[in-house]
Amino acid sequence: MRYEMEILYVPIMAAKKGEFDALKNLPSSIVERVLPLLELPVKSDRKTVEESIVSTAVQVGKVWGKRRAFLDISKWSAGARTENGVHVFEFAIAQFARNNVAVSPVVGYDRWGDPVYRQALVNIRTIHSITPCLRLDREAIQDDMLDPDYFQERIADILNVLNLGAENFFVVLDHGDVSNSAVPDLIEATENAIGVLRRLGFGVVIVAGGSMPSSIDKAVGCRDEVGCIHRVEMLAWKAIFSQSADCSIVFGDYTIRSPHAADGVIAPDANAKIRYTIENQYFVVRGHSKKLDSLGAQHQVLARKLIASAHYMQPSFSWADSELFNCSLGAKTIGSATTMISIDGNHHICAIVVEVFEYQQRVFQSARASV
């Protein structure tokens, strides 16, 4: 499985406005190295299911048209249908394709046993030209894959039903929340999983996880303070890549959100915050409840703290960094949490692509020097 340019990063992202704006403002040099895995949000407004999905597809088409992406419905029940009885997955894939997104489905290993879900994927495979992504959750990685015969039987069923070879799949090893995971444990589980997948004929393997805690108080204990969070998933990927120098082992994460981030929850006491990605870590600048001071006023103070720190990467680094710089000067008001998600996410994607590329180059240079 080869493409005109190697993918460096697979961000697992909610298909929502904050993420759309993050993608929209990426430079082409970053866009061509990114393959997003989009999570279809569950309907949470007065629109019908079909209207909600159409709206999402239209928005994705505007920011990611004519580009490749994966789509997952893990937030929905496996057998979810629209008002007209069409499976949500079939309807969504059709709508994304109609809006010129080169979308392929994510095949949930944990959902494969549901006959309605399975039939929906068969129907998608029949109608659309796809390169699916098999998503293996922590249970599959830590339990099923330790029984190679059982795991191979499950995989063989997926391949046979979809009439595709292993070489036609991407695979994402989704470790989920790794905020409390030990790096050596994550490395061991991932290396074992990659070995099993290689023996079964799979090529590109995406190693993903998320270290951002589910709430800001778990990231920075006191309000109006700063702190750093280790990105465990990056540390594990680097250790694996340093030994393999295998570009088909691709980095993935949940950008600046927690894997446990809730959809459609209004938090009246939400704290202002900037989640700024740096090498191997997040630098988190925490404010306080928006009930005490507006987000717009707080974000200016937080942006000044960030820019005064040694971690800030200059306005030219990304659209987000320019927005944060202007915010610190009072020339830009960042008045909503959604806007800050787009800024944090845009910087994160740019920072990850640069970090992965530069790390790969160091590994390659070291290997050449040792010959």
Residue-wise pLDDT for 214-231, tens only, equals 888 889 999 999 999 999
For residue 234, which of 207, 259, 261 has the smallest C-alpha distance? 207
What pLDDT score does 264 carry?
64
* Alpha carbon distance 345, 108 (integer Å): 25
pLDDT at 293 over 80: yes
Give the Cβ contact number of residue 272 at 10 Å.
Answer: 27
pLDDT at 160 over 70: yes
What pLDDT score does 3 carry?
46
What's the predicted TM-score (pTM) here?
A: 0.96
pLDDT at 45 over 90: no
Tell me the pLDDT tens digit for each residue of 2-29. Answer: 444 689 999 999 999 999 999 999 999 9
Q: Which amino acid is at 66?
A: K
Work out the percent of the chain whose per-residue pLDDT is above 70: 98
Asked if residues 58 and 98 have their Cβ atoms less than 8 Å apart, the reply is no
Query: What's the rounded mean pLDDT across residues 135-147?
Result: 97
pLDDT at 365 over 50: yes
265 pLDDT tier (thresholds 50, 70, 90): low
What pLDDT score does 266 carry?
66
What pLDDT score does 269 carry?
85
Work out the percent of the chain whose per-residue pLDDT is above 90: 92
Question: What strand order describes the sheet that includes 281-289?
Answer: 226-230, 281-289, 271-278
